[in-house]
């Protein structure tokens, strides 16, 4: 007999060492990447320029070495001619950007805008990653690529207009593990655009690989919206490095497939819990189940723990009709017990009500929310929109108006208002951002970042 969702999740949580053993990257951080903390105690580096490179740019901070936090003193769009390569021990604090925030897009380039490669302890939050085609044929334009990296947290990102995967975790003869993607929008990947394989609108590819003995696992996809992708919603492989958990996501309007789970790398243990899958105007009858298992390699075990999910076909965006969660091969590979999980999901029938307000690059009170994300969320709510070929079919890149940063008279990058409201800090004296003058156990800069983000 199948156990109720709450009991299954409780059993899974009992199997896993508590994440509280190490302080999370921020209050409320979830998933296997929640402990990405190597940036603590480091420099606060001001991002003051929207240029591609040079002093004061995001690239200068992201590609520096040593523990550091990138603090934005500017808002707008950064146009890139090559990817920004994030090195270890960095927190890219997009919530500090004034006005409408920060949007990354490509000029002439054949790679995506942001890559985390051969790095550890990386946190990326509250950015808009929307590359476009880069003006040339390319098979490498993701919105965000994570390769051979450990302890990575990507949260509240707005990702669109990629012509390969929107989000990709890649491993090349090394290890990729302890990675979270949460509270993000992945939408409007480009279908018939510039990919050499032709039609190629893709959501997320988890554990693509090359080289010998790749290891990939301990990956979390939590509370994300996937909208308007041909397939890979998501595409998952894994190894004995650990499981992949897919919890409380909404998957909307694929052309041909929702989730595709493979045994191509090694032992793949996947938890698919509390998700909602919905067809849309792009969807064909091929998108008939929420999860497909493709088992091709004898001796590579693959198992799927499925519980508490909902999946519906909306014919002509009319009444909803339930479709199966698991296809036939997935039923054969159904796990009798859940793998270790890090979260207790909420009920799938609440997701359309509770998730939209927190998804993507949006601050408490609605700051940073722009027209493209509003369009995606309206598509979901109204069963509208389609897979696109070019950005202008979804309105293109929204303008991000410039805005002044908050006053900081002492130049310590802690705003004057924050310092006035916290005992022991002064706006007319440069303070140690890592001090804890109020004795609550949280350094001043972390309290400020958490407050901006609405972290709990």
pLDDT of residue 19: 35
Assign residue 118 a region (left: φ > 0; alpha: ψ between -120 and 50; beta: otherwise): left
| pLDDT of 21 | 53
Please give the model's pTM, rounded to 2 decimal places. Answer: 0.94
pLDDT at 318: 87
For domain 5-394, the CATH superfamily is Single-stranded right-handed beta-helix, Pectin lyase-like (2.160.20.10)
Quick one: which of 391, 400, 394 has its CA closest to 370? 400
Mean pLDDT in order along the chain per 10 residues (456 residues): 37 35 91 98 98 98 98 98 98 98 97 98 98 96 98 98 97 97 98 95 97 96 98 98 98 98 96 98 96 92 98 90 97 96 97 98 97 98 97 98 95 97 95 94 97 95
Q: Which long-range contacts (CB under 8 A, 24 or more apart) does 48-51 make?
A: 48/73, 48/74, 49/74, 50/74, 50/76, 50/77, 50/78, 51/78
**Parts of the chain belonging to CATH 2.160.20.10:** 5-394
* The predicted structure's pLDDT at residue 10: 38
């Amino acid at each position: 007999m199948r156990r109720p969702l709450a009991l299954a999740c409780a059993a899974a949580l009992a199997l896993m060492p508590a994440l509280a053993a190490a302080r999370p990257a921020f209050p409320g951080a979830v998933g296997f990447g929640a402990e990405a903390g190597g940036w603590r105690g480091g420099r606060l580096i001001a991002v003051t320029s929207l240029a591609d490179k040079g002093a004061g740019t995001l690239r200068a901070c992201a590609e520096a070495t040593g523990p550091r936090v990138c603090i934005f003193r500017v808002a707008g769009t950064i146009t890139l001619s090559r990817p920004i390569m994030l090195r270890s021990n960095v927190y890219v604090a997009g919530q500090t950007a004034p006005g409408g925030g920060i949007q990354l897009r490509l000029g002439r380039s054949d790679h995506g805008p942001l890559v985390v490669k051969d790095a550890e302890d990386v946190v990326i939050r509250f950015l808009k990653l929307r590359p476009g085609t880069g003006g040339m044929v390319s098979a490498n334009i993701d919105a965000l690529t994570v390769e051979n990296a450990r302890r990575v947290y990507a949260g509240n990102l707005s990702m669109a207009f990629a012509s390969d995967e929107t989000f990709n975790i890649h491993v090349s003869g090394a290890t990729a593990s302890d990675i979270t993607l949460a509270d993000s929008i992945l939408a409007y990947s480009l279908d018939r655009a510039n990919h050499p394989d032709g039609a190629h609108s893709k959501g997320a590819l988890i554990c693509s690989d090359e080289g010998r003995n790749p290891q990939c696992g301990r990956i979390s996809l939590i509370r994300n919206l996937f909208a308007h992708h041909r397939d890979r919603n998501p595409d998952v492989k894994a190894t004995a490095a650990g499981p992949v958990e897919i919890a409380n996501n909404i998957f909307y309007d694929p052309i041909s497939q929702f989730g595709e789970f493979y045994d191509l790398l090694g032992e793949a243990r996947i938890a698919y819990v509390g998700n909602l899958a919905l067809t849309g105007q792009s969807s064909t009858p091929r998108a008939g189940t929420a999860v497909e298992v493709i088992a091709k390699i004898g001796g590579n075990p693959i198992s799927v723990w499925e519980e508490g999910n909902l999946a519906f076909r909306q014919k002509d965006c009319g009444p909803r009709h339930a479709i199966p969660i698991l296809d036939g091969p997935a039923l054969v590979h159904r796990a009798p017990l859940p793998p270790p999980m890090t979260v207790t999901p909420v009920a799938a029938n609440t997701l359309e009500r509770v998730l939209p307000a927190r998804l993507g690059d949006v601050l408490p009170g609605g700051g940073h929310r722009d027209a493209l994300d509003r369009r995606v969320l309206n598509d979901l709510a109204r069963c509208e929109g389609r897979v696109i070929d070019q950005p202008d079919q979804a309105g293109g890149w929204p303008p991000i108006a410039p805005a002044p940063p908050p006053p900081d008279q002492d130049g310590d990058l802690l705003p004057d208002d924050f310092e006035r409201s916290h005992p022991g800090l002064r706006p007319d004296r440069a303070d140690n951002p890592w001090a804890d003058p109020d004795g609550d156990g949280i350094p001043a800069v972390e309290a400020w970042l958490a407050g901006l983000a609405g972290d709990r």
